Amino acid sequence: MDKQQPNIVLVMADQLAPQFTGTYGHPLVQTPHLDKLAARGSRFDAAYCNSPLCAPSRFSFMSGQLITRIAAYDNASEFPASVPTFAHYLRSMGYTTSLSGKMHFVGPDQLHGFDERLTTDIYPADYAWTPNWELADERIDKWYHNMDSVREAGVAVGTFQIDYDDEVAFYARRKILDYARDKTRPFCMVASFIHPHDPYVALQQWWDLYENEAIDMPVENIPYEQQDDFSKRLMDGIEASKVAVSEQEIRNARHAYYANTSYFDSKIGELVSILESTGQLENTIFIVTADHGDMLGERGLWYKMNFFEASARVPLVMAGPGIQHQQIANPCSLVDILPTMLDIAASKGSPKPELGQPVDGRSLLPLATGISESMDDAEAIGEYCAEMTADPVFMIRRGEYKYIHCDPDSPMLFNIADDPAEKNNLCGEASVAAIENEFRKEVAERWNSEKIRQDVIRTQHQRRAVHASMQLGAVHQWDYNPPRDASQEYVRNHMDWTVAAARTRFPPLED
């Protein structure tokens, strides 16, 4: 093993749209630590999630595969233990791997290749959140989004999300310090936070970064009757079509989101600081991204679950040895992270492992290091098979264009370069008829929509049956419970305290 293999630290936000960060040009939102990474690294300006929902997006990100390939349809789909992830591959390349924070693994395998998890997850690991495509118009009030997050936005001393992210950062920092103490292997750490995901509730210190009256309002608010077919279903599902929110409530929600974005950014700073103070920053590739974005009131929509830019785009910033300072316009997506990580691990000559399954992504390292200026096949593919629809929704982003298709709905085609707010659906216009036809043919060739629909319904039946039975009799939860043996921590009677002090001191004293 080449001991000079670079370390990898990947920081993931939840529901962070790049449009609402200073790094990507928002005039108000303060993200100084992400700004600094972008100032010495590569900022990808057309990065997308592969499904605009937490668990499916993360399963694609971990495996490098689209959700329909691994049946990662929704937030209660099991992530099979047989699917190789970048954590598996990096372990075989000599890395030690750890996860601090959220990954929304569903099923009994709660590691998926990581050597260890430092925290529990924030969301349940069972099948409780299974949608029902046979009753797609019925709300499941227990876990469906609604407008409460907007109406109740504001300030608090504490929330379960703040508790969680503080814990994620604490254990991530301490683990990085442990890696500095024991430099026998390169490491890959994923630190995954829940902010700025709703509820839109912020600590006072971050709320006070912004003047409420200065908060910008959504650019466009499309009335319900003028919405596209899928957006109408989405508005019904989150109750935006019948629960009115005031201008002040919208402003408060965006205010808290901006505050929580700055809070998340502070966690980036904490991790960069511990890497720097332990002398590991110069040999660490730092990656920041998110699982999906947040509409935040744009187009009259909230949260995610659609393929408009604020929901489907994600930040993607890479910095570290060999990474060039640049802005990259090529479309890409989270399935590209796995092959990128393998290229990083192999950059010092270490052989790559044989892939256990084909991956849908391609490495972004040639772009990030300046070896390649563009990618002829640059694209982002999206699939959505979860709540508030009864048919799969597909997205293709290639070149300047984005095409969105769902069998019962009218298709949508946007020129993102000319129309970043996606105000003009070009479908049916003669000037782009050939482009629209090519996208339509590609969707038909790439996906069998009805076959996917039937498979989604089949898995929903399976999961509902299993979940119902598991609530009876002896209940065994899959939620991850981090192991901890206090008898081996700090100073105990079976150890010499001077040895423990010397072993944990960093930097170590000279002999």
Q: Which residue's structure tokens are 């509820």?
A: 199
Quick one: pLDDT at residue 354? 94
Q: Does residue 511 form part of some domain?
A: no
**Residues above pLDDT 70, as percent of the chain:** 99
pLDDT number for residue 6: 97
The token duo for 173 is 């920092």
CA distance 480 to 483: 9
Weakest-pLDDT range from 133-147, 212-226, 326-340: 133-147
Mean pLDDT in residue range 198-205:
97
**Torsion angle of alpha carbons 352, 353, 355, 356, nearest 10°?**
-170
Instruction: State yes or no: pLDDT of 116 exceeds 90.
Output: yes
Q: 371-398 pLDDT, tens per residue?
A: 877 666 789 999 999 999 999 999 999 9
Per DSSP (E only), the strands in 291-417 are 316-319, 326-328, 332-333, 379-384, 393-398, 401-406, 412-415
In this structure, are residues 16 and 253 in contact, taking their beta carbons and an 8 Å threshold?
A: no
Cβ atoms within 10 Å, residue 324: 15
**Catalytic residue selected from 104, 195, 197, 405:** 104
Task: Confirm whether 232 is domain-assigned.
Answer: yes
Pairing label, strands 41-44, 316-319:
antiparallel
Alpha-carbon distances of 177 from 333, 492, 503, rounded to whole Å? 31, 21, 12
Could you give the maximum distance between any two Cα atoms of the chain, in Å? 81
Six-digit token string for 303: 């949260």
Q: Residue 213 falls within a domain, yes or no? A: yes
Give the pLDDT band (50/70/90) at residue 24.
very high
Lowest mean per-residue pLDDT among 75-79, 406-410, 437-441, 500-504: 500-504
Q: Which residue has the tokens 């046979």?
A: 134
Asked if residues 136 and 388 have their Cβ atoms less than 8 Å apart, the reply is yes
CB-hemisphere CA count at 13 Å for 375?
22
Q: What span, in angstroms and rounded, lies between the C-alpha atoms of 296 and 217? A: 9
The whole-angstrom separation of Cα 120 and Cα 135 is 33
Q: Identify the domain containing residue 315 by its residue range.
A: 7-373+475-504
Integer Cα distance of 250 and 150 in angstroms:
6
Contact 279, 180 (CB under 8 A): yes
Establish if 416 belongs to a structural domain.
no
Q: How many domains, in total, are found in the chain?
A: 1
Give the model's pLDDT for residue 4. 80
| Range of weakest confidence among 170-174, 331-335, 437-441, 469-473 | 469-473
| Residue 107, Ramachandran bin (φ over 0: left; ψ between -120 and 50: alpha; else beta) | left
Q: Quick check: is 54 catalytic?
A: yes
pLDDT score of 1: 39
What are the E-state strand segments in 354-464? 379-384, 393-398, 401-406, 412-415
Query: Quick one: which of 426, 385, 425 has its CA closest to 406?
Result: 385
Contact 300, 227 (CB under 8 A): yes
Residue 433 lies in a domain: no
How buried is 158 (Cβ within 10 angstroms: 0-12 exposed, 13-18 middle, 19+ buried)? exposed
Residue-wise pLDDT tens digits, 216-244: 999 989 999 999 999 999 999 999 999 99
- Beta pairing class for 96-101 and 379-384: unpaired
The pLDDT of residue 124 is above 80: yes
Give the integer Cα–Cα distance in Å for 61 and 103: 10
Residue with the bigger pLDDT between 2 and 85: it is 85
Check: CB of residue 481 under 8 Å from CB of residue 144: no
For residue 231, being part of any structural domain is answered with: yes
**Secondary structure of 25-65 as H, E, C letters:** CCCCCCCHHHHHHHHCEEEECCEECCCCCHHHHHHHHHHCC
The single residue listed with the structure tokens 């929901």 is: 311
Q: What is the pLDDT of residues 393-449, one digit of tens each?
A: 999 999 999 999 999 999 999 999 999 999 999 999 999 999 999 999 999 999 999
316: phi then psi, degrees, rounded to nearest 5? -150, 110
Q: Can you read off the two tokens belonging to residue 223? A: 């009335």
* 192: phi then psi, degrees, rounded to nearest 5: -120, 115
**DSSP-derived pairing of the beta strands 401-406 and 412-415:** antiparallel
Which residue's entry shows tokens 């995901």? Answer: 197
Catalytic residue selected from 54, 188, 332, 406: 54
Q: Can you tell me the mean pLDDT for 455-476?
A: 94
Cα radius of gyration (the chain)? 23
Q: Show Cβ contacts of residue 477 under 8 Å, excluding neighbours closer than 6 positions.
A: 125, 126
pLDDT score for 2: 45
Give me the CATH number covering residue 195.
Answer: 3.40.720.10
What are the contacts of 494-498 at 24+ separation with CB within 8 A?
Answer: none
Classify 192 as helix, strand or coil: strand
Q: What's CA 511's distance to the chain center, in Å?
A: 45
Q: Catalytic residue at 26?
A: no
- CB-facing half-sphere around the CA of 16: CA atoms within 13 A: 34
pLDDT digits (tens, 9 = 90+) for 269-322: 999 999 999 999 999 999 999 999 999 999 999 999 999 999 999 999 999 999
Res 371: pLDDT? 87
Closest to 291 measured CA to CA, from 457, 122, 470? 122
Tell me, yes or no, whether 73 lies in a domain.
Answer: yes
The span from the CA of 211 to the CA of 188, in Å, is: 39
What are the structure tokens assigned to 251, written together?
């402003």
Cα separation, 148 vs 138, whole angstroms: 18
Q: Is 469 a domain residue? A: no
For the chain, what is the mean pLDDT? 95
Q: Do residues 330 and 43 touch, judged by C-beta distance below 8 A?
A: no
Distance in angstroms (rounded) separating the CA atoms of residues 191 and 44: 20
